[in-house]
Structure 1
Amino acid sequence: MPRQDPGSTIWFSLSIDGESLGRFNGCDGLSSQVEVEHHQEGGNNGFVWQLPSRVTFSTIRLTRPLTPDTTKVAKWISSVQTGIKRPTAEITALRADGSEVARWGLIDVLPVSWQGPTLDPGSPAVATEVLEIAHHGFTD
């Protein structure tokens, strides 16, 4: 089996409840933090117990050049206005050839921010969009 180059170009596919919102070329914020309580036990001076208490998850920022899939993102964000539904999501890291590198399932996803492109003929650049989503944890 040939080895895959870990430095190859990676794309990130986002789907919400199984519906694809397209591919993104940037993904930031796939992280979690465990808060730790410190507990000193009487008579035990050798160490302090570190006990897990709460897990928090950062928001995830996905970026890409403007594509026709932007309308799917706008539709999803607009659906929040008619009632909050917290769907599941899946982010899949893909190599340039389409093969999967890794996959993350997300629980109770909510779009919290979308930034469209700046369209200025005075400074031509690639028109990009940024989608930021919140979630309540990872699935198996």
Structure 2
Amino acid sequence: MSDGIFASSVFFRLVIGGDDLGRFHTCTGLGAQVEVEQFVEGGNNGFAWQLPSRITWSNITFSRAVTSDTVKVSKWLAQTIQRVERKDGEIVALQPNLTPIARWQVLGIIPVSWQGPSFDPSSSQAAVETLEIAHQGLQPS
């Protein structure tokens, strides 16, 4: 990988609205929670029905060492600041040789936060950026 050092054996490529924001070495928050309502049926004392209602999607957070792709995130954020518009995208889990492992379509993405790298010459730690997005749902692809 010429764009930086990745310590992970899996990478995550993020594309939002057709803009490829590059590869990240961590992706956390791929998940959902379904609220369940209990319904008690008259005359049935053995159990209560568990009925699914609303689904809540967790925010997804990506991080990576600073690479040439860092500029792509900055450009995407600048466009979003000009006009906030939800866009669909895709997360692709990749092997080190860039062969896809799994794909998720991400619906209605908006940025939540971006933390740029901290540069400390007295530290041997790599400069890391973090991007957090909110969305309206995931679909396997």
Deviation at 1:39, TM superposition (A): 0.9
1:1-140 alignment, distance < 5 Å: 9-140=9-140
Q: Distance in 2 between matches of 1:117 and 1:84?
A: 24
Structure 1 segments of 4 or more deviating over 4 A? Answer: none
Identity %: 50
The secondary structure found in structure 2 opposite 1:73 is: helix
Q: Distance in 1 between matches of 2:20 and 2:76?
A: 11
The secondary structure found in structure 2 opposite 1:88 is: strand
CA RMSD of aligned residues (A): 1.2
**Mean alpha-carbon deviation: is it higher for 62-71 or for 79-88?**
79-88
Deviation at 1:139, TM superposition (A): 2.9
Deviation at 1:98, TM superposition (A): 1.2
Can you give the 5+ residue segments of structure 2 that lack an aligned partner in the other structure? 1-7
The secondary structure found in structure 2 opposite 1:55 is: strand
The secondary structure found in structure 2 opposite 1:104 is: strand
Question: Which structure has more strand as a fraction of its residues?
Answer: 2
The alignment of Structure 1 onto Structure 2 pairs a total of residues equal to: 133
Deviation at 1:124, TM superposition (A): 2.7
The secondary structure found in structure 2 opposite 1:68 is: coil
Can you give the 5+ residue segments of structure 1 that lack an aligned partner in the other structure? 1-7
Deviation at 1:46, TM superposition (A): 1.2
Deviation at 1:9, TM superposition (A): 1.0
The secondary structure found in structure 2 opposite 1:81 is: helix
Give the alignment's TM-score, normalised by structure 1: 0.91
Q: Distance in 2 between matches of 1:20 and 1:81?
A: 18
The secondary structure found in structure 2 opposite 1:37 is: strand
The secondary structure found in structure 1 opposite 2:87 is: coil
Q: Alpha-carbon deviations, 1:52-98, whole Å to 9, x = none?
A: 11000000010101011111111111222222110001000000111
The secondary structure found in structure 1 opposite 2:79 is: helix
The secondary structure found in structure 1 opposite 2:81 is: helix
